[in-house]
Chain A
Amino acid sequence: MVTYLVHGLIFFLQETGSTPQAGMKNAMLEGLKHPDLSKFLVVGALLFIIGVAGVLTRRNIIVIFMSIELILNAANLNFIAMSRYLQQTGSVNALAGQIFAVFVIVVAAAEAAIGLGIVIALYRNKETIWIDEIDLLKW
């Protein structure tokens, strides 16, 4: 994913860099109107990083869940972006990314259901959802 990000950035910069300096503004506007693959990948990477940061820093399990959803959506975004890109290049297997995204959504829903169930069970036993007070994994 980071690879996509980096390559996307480089691609973007190279593309913009290849135009004459006078047309650069136009080119950037054009890029915003019709975003290419790298733009999506950059957004996906940002979403992913935000999600990871959330998972690692927040104490509330519910928020951590939300962060995990962000990570999953980052992945989904990448899938969709790739699917779109491949459609444009005329690849045969272009729909695979979309199908995958649907799968991820379904799995995320199931995961959220189970996860929230676990959270409720934890709360009933420990009376807390602060994750730094839950150190059962030590044993």
Chain B
Amino acid sequence: MYKYIWLVPLLPLIGAAINGFFGRKFRFSERLIGGIAVGSVALSFLISVASVVTYGFGSNQGWPKPYVTSQDGFSFDWIPAGAISINQGRQARLDMELNRKAEEKLASIPPEERTHPQAILVAAPFEAPRYGVLNIEWSYQLDPLSAIFMLIVTGVGLCIFVFATGYMHGEAGFYRFFAYMGLFMFAMLVLVMGSNFLMMFVGWEGVGLCSYLLIGYYFDRQEAANASRKAFITNRVGDFGFALAVFGVIATFGSAQYTEVFEQAKSYPIEYIGHWGILSWIALGLFIGACGKSAQLPLHVWLPDAMAGPTPVSALIHAATMVTAGLYMVTRTNVIFQHSQTMLLVVALIGAATAIFAATIGITQNDIKKVLAYSTVSQLGFMFMACGVGAFVIAIFHVMTHAFFKALMFLGAGSVIHGMHHEQDMRRMGGLKKYMPYTYWTFFAGWLAICGIIPFSGFWSKDEILWNAASTTYIPYGWIIWLIGTIAATCTAFYMTRLMAMTFWGKERFLDQPAGGEADEAHASAFDKGLSQHDAVMASAGDRPHHEPGEHVGPADQHDFHTQATHVHIPHESPKSMWVPLVVLAVLATIGGFFGVGPAFRFITGSELPGGKLNIVRWLDPIIWNPVTREFGKEEVHASAERGTQAPAEGEHAVAAYQNVSPSLAHAVESRLQSELGTEWLFIVISLVVAGIGIGLGFLFYVKQPSLADEWASRLRPLYNASYNKYWVDEFYGWAITRRTMDAARAVFTFDSRVVDGAVNGLATLSRLFSRIVGGIDKYFVDGLVNSIAAFVARLMSPLFRAAQTGFTQNYALVMVLGLMIGIVAFYGADIVRAAADTAAAIKSMFGISF
């Protein structure tokens, strides 16, 4: 079955094409459009499951080697062969060769003759110029990493597609929405299933395009249009880095195929902190790309704005799948990242900074989707933190659990927005538990998961991330990462509790404060200013529908019950098509963490990594490069350690692999406690306690004593303002980048209009002047000369030629005969003279006379 994985991206594309090209022309019904879209994704999901099962679990011998479809003939040369010179990374290759020679020489010396330290002289290697033929093929790859992503994308995507059929009901652009969504599925699947960097790039740009199209789905609204452009332009910065990195890969390794690149890269020398080589450059470029797509710190600004898109889009693209493409890329290229200790540190620091930064912003936001957006940014920061401390597997584990619970919460938020008649401001919600039970209970599961309460899925992955940060042997300062992560986790628990409290618990504020059935920050501020309840003051920035300023936005949905006195919309539970996906995702968010139960629970589960191949650490192990053995897969080391061979413990391994790493926090604690298990449990307890603190504070502020929130907000006014205004990053970018760009554009325009145009115009004037002079010379001098010569010639020669033209035939004939005679004389004159002389001689000899 796994031979048909090329169908997985193709089916959503076909569905999208049918919906996009014919949906409008033939006026497809919503059932048909939804059926095509959901059906294609469901088929993809089934094929994915079947492929992964047959390849990963059957009697297949290929596992865990990547299966590339070109093995079975599905591939075509997408960018055909071209000659390239492989000229980057030369120094690294020479170093590698030098090391190899030195090791060989050392091995050739018998141990008893070795001095310590042994000085070895080896000849410096010579590298001939390298050339290659670059052939980019279009083929799909099935390996542990792409398998996980295939399942997440198609599985979570299926839930969201089903949800969207309910949520988008009644939209004029229903067909368009599903065409874009299908196209997105195709691009995302190409991204995660492609077998080379170029295909990842195609998918990368494809999801960027679909993100742009879907954020700008309500393109008639200025906010949505701006947000889509912002997302696209911000991503361009990242894509630039990514493209450079791909060029770097091709110039260094002479191929873009993962298998070939990683096979070469795995033996390159590791670049420690303070050493910046070619692999660090490549990793930097890749990470810039990841920052753009995954909304990391300098480039995170687009993601919160992207909430202008429809909520299923936010769930699918901006929470579950597309924004994790950066994680996919970093994990896919973990060989390269692990070769650059500096870049690991950068990744960890950026991730930690993003995590805390976004989490603090999330505390003060009032738009339910904005809170979730910042939560997403924060969680992505956690994942990068995990990558940075060398726990790539855990990063992917968190991608998975996050996809479950964040998709669940986004869809829950969509359900709330739907039930509240497109109200997004949490200040006008409250007490929805009573009205929307399915939404509430599923959201409840998501809340526990993201807060990290055992045994919900978020606990397992987040705890593993913090543990790996505390015990990292890849980078120095792991304890700072751990501390920041722990604080961010507290903030996460706090703002998610705040969200729960403001939305589902407490007073039913929508009864007192009806805002008019559509809501967003603009309406909320209008409401705060005491403006009329149903009059929009600004074009709404929310999900839908569209309202112009000054438009009266009275009761919109007449079929819903609302009290006539206050025009209050009573919230209602969403239809089945919406809550069924919620339930599915809630189950996943609850149990999804059991795929990665950590070693700390070995006294319960009876194994370091329970679940065999189903344990995500074991599952992903074959694609993770091991800096100690310089091969893929860490488990081999573990296995050899268990067999009792002389393999040191993991920590000592990594110390040997990476320099500049001070003993980690966990190491210090362990030496104090003298217990490995106790250390692990200490950190688990810490993360549970901080989650509890966050939840407790949330309860205190928003349930027990709601006045406390305002009190503390005014007490910490500067901090509150900074958080509420998102640390003024947008304003800073507006001032530092947008305004400066505009200034530069104006300056260039001025330069163009004054200097360039002036130069061109001046040249034109000069040319005209010059041409006038030349024209004068031509007219009076050249023409005069020609005319006078002609006149002179005519006057001189014409009598002669005129005289020749007598008109008498015989004259012409005479001239012909003369010409003939001249010709004869010219050609045969000498012969004639000679003949005459001979004749004369002959006559003389014959007759004895002389002339």
Decide whether A and B assemble into one complex: yes
Spell out A's residues near B (CB within 8 Å). 2-3, 6-7, 9-10, 13-14, 16-17, 21, 24, 52, 55-57, 131-132, 134-139
**Cα(A47)–Cα(B846), bound, Å:** 28
Can you name 11 extra interface pairs (CB under 8 A) apart from A56-B810, A136-B807?
Answer: A2-B824, A3-B831, A9-B835, A9-B839, A10-B842, A17-B842, A17-B845, A24-B846, A56-B813, A131-B809, A132-B808
**Which residue on chain A has the smallest CB distance to residue B818?**
A56
Q: Given B805, B813, B832, B843, which contacts A55 in the complex, CB threshold below 8 Å?
A: B813
How far apart are A5's CB and chain B's nearest CB, in angstroms?
10
B806 within 8 A of A: yes
Q: Are B842 and A52 in contact (CB under 8 A)?
A: no
A55 CB, nearest partner CB in chain B, Å: 6
* Min CB–CB distance A133 → chain B (angstroms): 9
Q: A57 to chain B: which residues have CB within 8 Å?
A: 810
Interface residues of B toward A: which range? Answer: 20 to 34
Q: Is B812 an interface residue (CB 8 A)?
A: yes
- A13 CA to B812 CA, complexed, in Å: 37
13 interchain pairs, CB-CB under 8 A = A2-B828, A9-B835, A13-B839, A13-B846, A14-B842, A17-B845, A17-B846, A24-B846, A131-B808, A132-B810, A134-B809, A137-B808, A138-B805
Chain B nearest CB, measured from A122 CB (Å): 11
User: In whole Å, how far is A138's beta carbon from the nearest beta carbon of chain B?
Assistant: 3
Question: Chain B's interface: helix, strand, loop or mixed, by majority?
Answer: helix
Q: Which residue from A10, A16, A136 sits with its C-beta under 8 Å from B835?
A: A10
Question: Which residues of A are found within 8 Å of B831, using beta-carbon distances?
Answer: 3, 6
A13 to chain B, nearest CB (A): 5
B809 touches A7 (CB 8 A): no
Nearest CB of A to B488, in Å: 110
A3 to B845, CA, bound (A): 24
Give the CA-CA distance A131 to B842 in the complex, in Å. Answer: 45
Question: CB within 8 Å of A: which of B798-851?
Answer: 805-810, 812-814, 817, 824, 828, 831-832, 835, 838-839, 842-843, 845-846
**Set A2, A6, A135: member contacting B806, Cβ < 8 A:** A135
Are the CB atoms of B828 and A137 closer together than 8 Å? no
Verify B817–A3 contact, CB threshold 8 A.
no
Q: How far is the CA of A52 from the CA of B808 in the complex (A)?
A: 16
Expressed in whole angstroms, the minimum distance between the Cβ of B846 and any Cβ of chain A is 5
Q: Tell me the smallest distance from the CB of B829 to a CB of chain A, in Å.
A: 11
Given contacts A6-B832, A7-B835, contact A137 B812 (CB under 8 A): yes
CA distance A13 to B839 in the complex (A): 7
Q: Given that A7-B835, A10-B835 are contacting pairs, would A135 and B843 also be in contact in the complex, using a CB cutoff of 8 Å?
A: no
Residues of B within 8 A of A24 (CB): 846
> Contacts of B810 on A, CB cut-off 8 Å?
55-57, 131-132
State the Cβ distance, A102 to closest chain B Cβ, in Å: 26
B742 to chain A, nearest CB (A): 81
Q: Which residues of B contact A3 (CB under 8 A)?
A: 828, 831
Residue of B nearest to A131 (CB): B809
Nearest 8 interchain pairs by C-beta: A138-B807, A135-B807, A17-B842, A137-B807, A17-B846, A13-B842, A6-B835, A10-B835
Tell me which residues across on chain A come within 8 A of B808, comparing CB atoms: 131-132, 134-135, 137
With CB as the reference atom, state the residue of chain B lying closest to A24: B846
Q: In the complex, A136 Cα to B805 Cα: how many Å?
A: 11
Closest approach, in angstroms, between the C-beta of A70 and any C-beta of chain B? 14
B806 to A138, Cβ gap below 8 A? yes
> When chains A and B are docked, how far (Å) is the Cα of A55 from the Cα of B814?
9
A137:B839 contact, CB within 8 angstroms: no
Look across to chain A and name the residue whose beta carbon is closest to the beta carbon of B802: A138
Docked CA distance A57–B817 (Å): 12
Inter-chain contacts of B805 with A (CB < 8 A): 138
Chain A residues near B843 (CB-CB < 8 A): 13
Smallest beta-carbon distance B93→chain A, Å: 82
| Whole-angstrom CA separation of A30 from B299 in the bound complex | 124
Distance (whole angstroms) from the CB of A71 to the closest CB of chain B? 11
CB nearest to A135 among chain B residues:
B807
Please pick, from B809, B814, B838, B845, the residue contacting A10 in the complex, using a CB distance under 8 A: B838
Q: How far is the CA of A132 from the CA of B811 in the complex (A)?
A: 10
Nearest Cβ in chain A — how far from B828, in angstroms? 6
Tell me if B809 and A56 are in contact (CB < 8 A): no
Q: Is the CB of A10 within 8 A of B813?
A: no
Closest to A9 in B: B839
Contacts of A9 in B (CB 8 A): 835, 839
- A52 neighbours in B (Cβ, 8 Å): 817
- Measured between C-beta atoms, what is the minimum distance from A39 to chain B in Å? 16
Q: Quote the shortest CB–CB distance from B831 to chain A (angstroms).
A: 7
A135 cross-chain contacts in B, Cβ below 8 A: 806-808
Closest to A1 in B: B824
Residue of A nearest to B847 (CB): A21
Residues on A with C-beta less than 8 A from B832 are 2, 6
What's the nearest-Cβ distance from chain B to residue A103, in Å? 22
CA A7 – CA B296 in complex, angstroms? 109
Query: Within the complex, what minimum Cβ distance (angstroms) separates B834 from chain A?
Result: 10
Residues of A within 8 A of B838 (CB): 10, 14
CA distance A135 to B832 in the complex (A): 37
Tell me if A137 and B813 are in contact (CB < 8 A). no
Question: B846 and A21: CB pair below 8 A?
Answer: yes
- CB within 8 Å of A: which B772-818 residues: 805-810, 812-814, 817
Q: How far, in whole Å, are A138 and B813 apart by their CA atoms in the complex?
A: 14
With a CB–CB cut-off of 8 A, which chain A residues contact B828? 2-3
A13 to B840 alpha-carbon distance, docked (Å): 10
Q: How far is the CB of B110 from chain A (nearest CB, A)?
A: 101
